[in-house]
Amino acid sequence: AQSVTQPDIHITVSEGASLELRCNYSYGATPYLFWYVQSPGQGLQLLLKYFSGDTLVQGIKGFEAEFKRSQSSFNLRKPSVHWSDAAEYFCAVGVRSGGYNKLIFGAGTRLAVHP
């Protein structure tokens, strides 16, 4: 069965420090992978996506993620965190069935940023 695991429920970093959020997926075919961010009381905003090709993808707000097929991972990174990055981050895999798609999400990682 398809699934997404985000091993870290909470992460706290200092402003200016680097960040890596982990994501592991289980999916039999070539995955479509996504990272979304959710601020309190808000919907989901797409940070970046991987469909094919270059395994290092760039997103908005200075985020990047690397797809590693051998490790079934799609970790999100940012070299220098800003206080405004405090939010909840969700990794998701796109599951295709009969031409239609749905997303399976991980449980999320809540990021706190210390000044």
Partner 1 sequence: DAGVTQSPTHLIKTRGQQVTLRCSPKSGHDTVSWYQQALGQGPQFIFQYYEEEERQRGNFPDRFSGHQFPNYSSELNVNALLLGDSALYLCASSLVRGRGPLNTGELFFGEGSRLTVL
Binding site for partner 1 (CB under 8 A): 4, 32, 34, 36, 42-46, 49, 51, 90, 92, 94, 96-108
Supply the minimum distance, in Å, between the C-beta of residue 10 and partner 1: 11
Closer residue to partner 1 in complex, CB, 18/39: 39
Closer residue to partner 1 in complex, CB, 15/38: 38
Are the CB atoms for 65 and 77 separated by under 8 Å?
yes
Closer residue to partner 1 in complex, CB, 100/115: 100
Supply the minimum distance, in Å, between the C-beta of residue 73 and partner 1: 17
CA dihedral 43, 46, 50, 51 (to 10 degrees): 80
Q: How far is CA 75 from CA 43, 65, 98, 105, in A?
A: 22, 5, 28, 14
Supply the minimum distance, in Å, between the C-beta of residue 30 and partner 1: 10
